[in-house]
Amino acid sequence: MDRAKVILIESEIYDQMRIINKLFDDIDERKKGIEKSVIKRESTAYKIHSLYCAFEDLFEIVARYFENQINNRAVYHKKNLE
């Protein structure tokens, strides 16, 4: 892998990890008092879903740079769940 490609993957992974870390922070903040609030539970569930999707995006970034092409996202998602 040439240096330019390494810089690109590092940049994309860094950006995706920033998103993931922000979601973890959001979840930590929302879980305070979660047992008393339906809104907080729903908000936390949404953030957990977003976190799952962010990890999926991270795996896709890595796969793309190592030439494991993902042609059909529906099949990719299904295989991730298996």
| Closest C-alpha among 54, 55, 60, 58 to residue 76 | 60
Q: How far is it, in rounded angstroms, from Cα 82 to Cα 80?
A: 6
- Give 16-31 pLDDT, tens digit per residue: 999 999 999 999 998 8
Spatial CB neighbours of 51, under 8 Å, sequence gap ≥ 6: 20, 23, 24, 27
Q: Is the pLDDT of residue 37 over 90?
A: no
pLDDT at 2: 85
Q: How far is it, in rounded angstroms, from Cα 61 to Cα 67?
A: 10
Where do the structural domains in the chain lie, given as residue ranges? 3-81
What's the mean pLDDT in 31-47? Answer: 90
Mean predicted lDDT score pLDDT of the chain: 87
